Structure 1
């Protein structure tokens, strides 16, 4: 129909969002949410930029000020944002950093070797989502200033310059006009730094968004642990008059408050205590701080201060908290630990390298793929306490990764491996029976009471999303694992001097956790089996295993009574149960639910598994860890397995999804060797494998009996042969049934086992030419 809106669709219907308008249109893409979480995320972006300066070794003090008007100011004494002209955009560095997405100094390796901000969107996103943002930069002996409104540069006409406001008249910078960066004062030639003050835009953040002071303090304290020697001060101007500070409050120095006006610095108003503290910091210097660290000194400063009542801004105390730790992650673990420690804080540090292909900006500003040798610095501290809770904090370049990632995976992998190895080596002393398959240390046993901080510093880490919750750089796992393998092994084994007694206590706790877990599972299993037996009697043909081995129990579904007799003699009754079935069970793909439940074989399998069926199936109630289909290695056996898989897929699907269903792989032939190797046997699983093995034996001049045994079924094996080849976990071969694509699996079962014959016939015809014997196990 002519003249409709559909016909009017053309290039004129397209909307192009330029600059930071896209951020304001879709803020959730950059800060996650527009509630309290997003509000705090904006602050983290600005603080992390200052912390990156500290990581680069050019910043020693960061101040975060919460002003009474709701604005937040972050000040650092780093190098200051560049103020010169960026050649490509013809804009000052300040305007580029605060108005251009994906712009910054962290895409290469020149200015930052390890930084928290990597995408070049942090500062510009905060600017876009602020009703006003002011930036001041100290560089070249001068103080530069620039203001923005919702991401656009311009000039505010503040009625009272001492109290800037986002509601003041604003004149936006016209296009093609020089930047509004202006010089507003002078500073010492060696003084550098950046001050960013912003007002979150109420048009962006919802009415429920609230600033969380406690969350800020936790983040600042955490950062002070991770960057030893960095002093971070938090000033809160919202505190009302409360009288004199309490006796248990440590008095410390104040920090600069709001400026008298934009053109003046207020260093003279700080007081003698501030000057003394600053001079002490300058006297100490970074070199002396490093010497203290190397000497093993660990100092910490956390304080609260009440400034004089005559401070500007009206009556009331400004809450000031200051954090500075020189012990690094060791102090952090000590802070996180609760309960009686079983060990001192164990620290593992080192460096590794890996190759990574990444896009590198060349001299012309173009991106090209290049293989780069990366360096990964690892710093880990850990200890065990007598408690049961696990506390693991992980960080990449000081950015928290609450979701973990490859660095945590490498740490846990190495710790688990070394603990298990040490327990096995000291099994007699620790009273661990290695012959008992249940006596195996699990990761949960190791994690009980563990407090650990895992940090790595790498260039251009790969995070999952802008919020950086999980580290995805794959090679980091190997670097961390190798380092922990070497250093932790010396500690937990007691080989390193001073660790023998500590490692003994740690291993005793871990083994104790293992015994407690095993005992709890036994109690649970006895109760579960009792309830199952009381609710309905088990099928009389079930040869069940002993209770208490729920975590390793195995159910063998055996084809035929003849194989059952041999299997009874071959099994380990402690954890292996047997359920025989007669021939081919019902094809549940074609049958109704009522037909399936009335079928004796299907009902017996569901009852023995003990976890229900269909929508009510609860995998946590399953009585066995493995369900193993043990059928003959022939066409009929393959058909029976397919029917069983159809039952599991339609009515007990979580068993397959979680990898609890297996197919036994019995051999087809047995070759008896002669001569010096008489009494040895070789098993093969196909005719092609048999022919190849015989050729190899002839070529190696190894004798064998001419009467090669071919098994027509499991019942033809004796108990020892069945145990060695099919049932003993130490020597058997199992195939785990996997389901990678649920939709595809559903289509395959419907095609091969459903009611419609023509599609199945056509499938066979179409794929007949591609038939490959190696793809089947008959």
Structure 2
């Protein structure tokens, strides 16, 4: 017999008698214990069963989401949501939240009051049941609530478990009932506040009778225990205010009041919005965001099926449910999107299945409408995506469903699968009606055009993202080959001249100061951007070159601080074609690089039309800019007895000047004349650009006819 076998035989005598066969159960167990490794000595006595509210105190984050300031705020939401459920059910019209100076929070409502009678199975009052037992309440499919924000029956009891003191007063049946708790244990406080002596004691007590005319209701006041939260965690008053405001929008029949007694002067705010979600959309829309459409309100209901437990807790398959849907949304001129989602008045910060149905209906219906509407999409253009549809949208999605499913106790995301199809179907039917209705057809087309424009901008930005990056002189290899750059890399003195044609470029190259003056030639007239979108602008070689050389992007991505040059000067010929080119360039900057104009960094050069030279020992050279100025100057010189070289040359273009003339008259900062382009009157500028450069021909024709008598035909260079 080995040493190990001898040891086992000594510990279990019958083991040796059976020659190691292990035939008896008792012997086998003894053997298992003796031969087990140390880490496997783990039995039932090592298991812990957390009873009652111990689980909440042990792992508070599981029940309130977090133990920072958000968790402190979630305590208020749990109590407030219970009162709101009374309002949704039609039993409460007034709910008040009071923030006391001692850090406590009180929530009062005029609902039916928590049931005060004794619960048959547990033998305790309904008040004590819902405040001390997890998963207890009237929201598990009974007749108490059709829909509710409560789901697990955990909220109020979790608040109770994490509170140093928790007081509840219930007005019901003509009597006033009261009860107090410390960390979920019922008892009596001998004094005010959470530090008063506490004696565990009886349950719900009758403390008086309701006053005549006083309605039923519930009042809860609690002091949360900081030990269960992170250091510095505190209640965010603005978050409470936002919660009350949002809920007031969602429950138009209830008035919410916030009493803030934490400051030197008590403050009171009332939130009541009879307009409901329509008012909420207007409130959530970004400031200054002008509406592109009216607010569309979609209401309705639909059915879906899911597995659910019956009253006896037995799971039933394919149970029919009914969902009530209320959605309001509109488009604005801006780019921001705001989509707020709620289930049974509870905000779902991460959306969920109701948002999925809403967005799926928008993307599918409006993309089809864009494809089927003549004149919106061009050949080979892709249909808009969801991001394009949502650009500039403000929306509120609210559904009411029985026993909703969420991804967590904090209810940040709805996971009830059947809601998706209900919402999607309602939105699709409403959008199709809106698109086809004669009264809203024009509005609908405006929205579709906005969506198409958003899609084009998105694609353009994706293709031209490198154009928005700042380029330095050392990165000249990426610049257009026709750019004649300067040596300066800063913007203090650097200037970019946009010149008309290669001939002007040749003279300008000789005339300029290469230290700080750069030249970019353009060929002929650029694209009229007032009639084009950003994709077409950047597809145009001349416009794309300007955007790339400036290095600051375009449209929404334009960054003035990224510009490579301090000033931009448009240098076109002093004739009708030059004026047209100058107008087209100004339109480009006004439409896609407006901050450049607003900063006063866009100029128009003023090349002269005539060169007047006098004869004699000390010849004099004078440049004039108009026909009238030239004639007046000639008369003045002749009256002074000076002879003039004739004929007086008239410059047909910048290319006809020699380098010295161009430098002296147009490029030398000390002697040149330039016009700064400004936006002092934005509205007037917009009207003029739209009139002269826009798509509508009729207003422009009428303006030309009406203004024909203002033209001096004698100065026309024909």
Give TM-score, length-normalised by structure 2.
Answer: 0.59
Q: Output the CA distance in 2 between the equivalents of 1:219 and 1:88.
A: 36
Residues 123-153 of structure 1, C-alpha deviations (whole Å, 9 max, x = no match): 0000000000000000000110000001100
Partner residue of 1:763? none
Residues 660-671 of structure 1 mapped to structure 2, 5 A cutoff: none
After superposition, the C-alpha distances for 1:623-669 in whole angstroms (9 at most, x for unaligned) are: xxxxxxxxxxxxxxxxxxxxxxxxxxxxxxxxxxxxxxxxxxxxxxx
Q: Secondary structure at the match of 1:413?
A: helix
Question: In terms of Rg, which structure is larger?
Answer: 2
Q: 1:336: which partner in 2?
A: 284
Q: Structure 1: how far apart are the matches of 2:171 and 2:437?
A: 50
The alpha-carbon distance between structure 1 residues 440 and 92, as it changes in their structure 2 partners (threshold 3 A), is same
Does the alignment pair 1:238 with 2:262?
Answer: yes
CA displacement 1:543-585 (0-9 Å, x = unmatched): xxxxxxxxxxxxxxxxxxxxxxxxxxxxxxxxxxxxxxxxxxx
**Alpha-carbon offset, residue 188 of structure 1:** 3.6
Residue 85 of structure 1: SS of its match in structure 2?
coil
Structure 1 position 370, deviation (Å): 5.1
Q: Are 1:56 and 1:113, in contact at CA under 8 Å, matched by a contact in 2?
A: yes
Q: Distance in 1 between matches of 2:190 and 2:428?
A: 62
1:153 alignment partner, SS class: strand
Counterpart in 1 of 2:568?
Answer: none
Contact 2:97–2:107 under 8 Å retained in 1: yes
1:109 Cα offset (Å): 4.3
SS in 2 for 1:86: coil
Is structure 2 residue 178 aligned with structure 1 residue 145? Answer: yes
2:340 is equivalent to residue 393 of structure 1? yes
- Give 3-state SS (helix, strand or coil) of 2:106's partner: strand
C-alpha deviation, 1:505, in angstroms: 1.6
Q: What is the aligned partner in structure 2 of residue 319 from structure 1?
A: 267
Distance between the aligned counterparts of 2:185 and 2:37, measured in 1? Answer: 38
Do the aligned partners of residues 6 and 331 (structure 1) sit closer, same or farther apart at CA in structure 2, a change above 3 Å counting?
same
Is the contact made by 2:79 and 2:107 (CA closer than 8 Å) also made in structure 1? yes
1:384 correspondence with 2:359: no
Structure 2: which 5+ runs fail to align?
1-33, 472-476, 479-718
Separation in 2 of the partners of 1:93 and 1:58? 18
1:212 to 229, 236, 244: 236
Name the TM-score, length of structure 1 as normaliser.
0.54
- Report the count of equivalent residues: 439
Rounded Cα–Cα distance in structure 1 between residues aligned with 2:214 and 2:314: 36
Q: 2:658 maps to which residue?
A: none
Does the CA contact (< 8 Å) of 2:177 and 2:204 recur in 1?
no
Aligned with residue 56 of structure 2, among 23, 26, 31: 23
Question: Does the aligned pair in 2 maintain the 1:129–1:201 contact within 8 Å?
Answer: yes
State whether residues 107 and 220 of structure 2, in contact with CA within 8 Å, keep that contact through their aligned partners in structure 1.
Answer: yes
Whether 2:301 is the aligned partner of 1:351: answer: yes
Distance 1:180 1:445, change over 3 A: closer
Instruction: Tell me whether 1:171 sits opposite 2:199 in the alignment.
Output: yes
Pairwise CA distance, 1:356: 1.7
CA contact (8 A) 1:138 1:187 kept: no
SS of the counterpart of 2:310? strand
After superposition, the C-alpha distances for 1:224-266 in whole angstroms (9 at most, x for unaligned) are 00011210000011121xxxxxxxxxxxxxxxxxxxxxxxxxx
Would the aligned equivalents of 1:102 and 1:119 in 2 still touch at CA under 8 Å? yes
- Measured at CA, do residues 424 and 13 of structure 1 come closer, stay the same or move farther in structure 2, by a change above 3 Å? closer
Tell me, yes or no, if structure 1 residue 136 matches structure 2 residue 169: yes
Distance (Å, rounded) in 1 between the aligned partners of 2:468 and 2:255: 57
CA distance in 1, matches of 2:40, 2:445: 79
Q: 1:631-670 to 2 correspondence within 5 Å?
A: none
Q: Once superposed, what is the RMSD of the aligned Cα atoms?
A: 2.5
Find the aligned partners of 2:405 and 2:185 in 1 and give their Cα distance: 31
**2:205 aligns to what?**
181
1:384-422 CA distance string (max 9 Å, x none): 000001100011111111111111111111111111111
1:50 CA displacement:
0.4
**Once structures 1 and 2 are overlaid, which stretch shifts more, 518-527 or 462-471?**
518-527
Measured after TM superposition, the shift of residue 202 of structure 1 is 2.0
1:576-630, CA deviations, whole angstroms, 9 ceiling, x for partnerless residues?
A: xxxxxxxxxxxxxxxxxxxxxxxxxxxxxxxxxxxxxxxxxxxxxxxxxxxxxxx
Aligned equivalents of 1:186, 1:457: Cα separation in 2:
34
Matches of residues 411-426 of structure 1 in structure 2 within 5 Å? 411-426=358-373
2-side partners of 1:5 and 1:183: how far apart?
59
CA positional deviation for 1:361 = 2.1
1:402 alignment partner in structure 2: 349
Equivalent-residue separation in structure 1 for 2:385 and 2:455 (angstroms):
7
Aligned-residue offset at 1:66: 0.7
Distance of 1:8 and 1:414 partners within structure 2: 59
Structure 1: tracts of 5 or more residues without a match: 159-163, 241-316, 536-778
1:82 maps to: 115
Aligned-pair CA distance for 1:16: 2.6
